[in-house]
Amino acid sequence: MPTVVSALAAAVLLGTGFVLQQHRAALEPSDRALTVWLLLDLVRSPSWLAGIGVMAAGQLLGAAALARGGLGMTEPLLSTNLLFALVIAGFWYQLRPCWRDWLGALVLSGGLGGFLVVATPGIGDTSGIPDVAWVLAGGSVAAVAAVLTVAGRRNRGRVRGALLAGGAGVLFGLQDALTQRSLAIAGHRGVLQLLLSWTPYTLVAVAVVGILLAQSAFQAAPLSASLPPVTAGEPITGIALGAGLFGGSLQHGSVALLLEVVCLLAMIAGIWLVASSPMVTSARRTAEAGRGAPSPVGGAGEH
């Protein structure tokens, strides 16, 4: 029971953090998307920093729940952060989520949680992996993020937000893998060797670009369009890197593979349902109006 409570509390904090970030990012002028000026504006905003802090607290609480309850029990509960974010965003913008929003969020969360339970991905080992393997794996992830970013720049509204969020999600998955490598180096060789390696600096660069893409996605579209790709992209990328780079394990039986494919299709369907919801358009209009008028937590010029 403590693990369940901790995981659900972490999901609430994650959802709240995402809502605070998206609300503040939506107040930024559209021409600042994908530029460093967007981040420079946001880091001076108390509400955005509060969102980052709340999200970080949720991640720490989620990590503690994972340590106690394991992946199969905890990850499905953590994936419900999308449901909590949808509820909080509905109250924030005084919009009532329709059945399509709830169905999409449930299908996405259920597909993600089901995939993690069925696949039972192994953590794998980061020691002894040659740098060339990291270059190939990291380069592949960066290429996917770049393609999604370029496609996002060529679109507007919810499509732009979903594509940029997908790019952020895959980079966050790479960030998780680099974090795991950093912890392994520090644990086995010491902090000095970690600082002398390329890993922490690459980690910081990937994290900054991922945050920029995520905030640009939040600036372009409300959470019901921009959050689902992040929610699905990060763990899927992390699992792929764990299996392909770290030598982690996935269930390969015929039944397991069938269920994994069904869960992946459910995630895609959930993303499409919430991204094409009428609430997306309504919330976007509300956010755009808020750029020129005071918002519930400040004004368009809040810093």
Indicate whether 258 belongs to any domain: no
267 or 276, greater pLDDT: 267
Tell whether 169 and 76 lie within a shared domain.
no
Asked if pLDDT for residue 287 goes beyond 60, the answer is: no
Each residue of 10-36: pLDDT tens digit?
999 999 999 999 989 988 988 888 999
Indicate whether 209 belongs to any domain: yes
Residue ranges making up the domain that contains 10: 1-98+278-303
**Domain count within the chain:** 2
In DSSP terms, 298 is beta-bridged to 295
Indicate whether 113 belongs to any domain: no
Indicate whether 272 belongs to any domain: no
Indicate whether 270 belongs to any domain: no
CA–CA distance, 135 with 143 (Å, rounded to integer): 12
DSSP string for 168-229: HHHHHHHHHHHHHHHHHHHHHH-HHHHHHSSHHHHHHHHHHHHHHHHHHHHHHS-HHHHHHH
* C-alpha of 301 from chain center: 27
Over the chain, what is the mean pLDDT? 80
CA–CA distance, 66 with 104 (Å, rounded to integer): 25
Residue 212 confidence (pLDDT): 94
Buried b (16+ CB within 10 A) or exposed e, 224-250: bbbbbbbbbbbbbbbbbbbbebbebeb
Tell whether 142 and 239 lie within a shared domain.
yes
Q: Which of 96, 103, 67, 61 is nearest to 82 (CA)?
A: 103
Tell whether 194 and 125 lie within a shared domain.
yes
Indicate whether 167 belongs to any domain: yes
What's the whole-number mean pLDDT along residues 147-151?
Answer: 95
Tell whether 208 and 134 lie within a shared domain.
yes
- Residue partners of 51: CB distance under 8 A and separation at least 6: 16, 17, 18, 19, 20, 21, 23, 24
Each residue of 110-143: pLDDT tens digit?
887 787 777 766 555 565 678 888 899 899 999 9
Q: Which of 39-53, 95-109, 241-255 has the highest mean pLDDT?
A: 39-53
Indicate whether 267 belongs to any domain: no
Tell whether 145 and 78 lie within a shared domain.
no
Are the beta carbons of 196 and 135 closer than 8 angstroms? no
Residue 227 confidence (pLDDT): 85
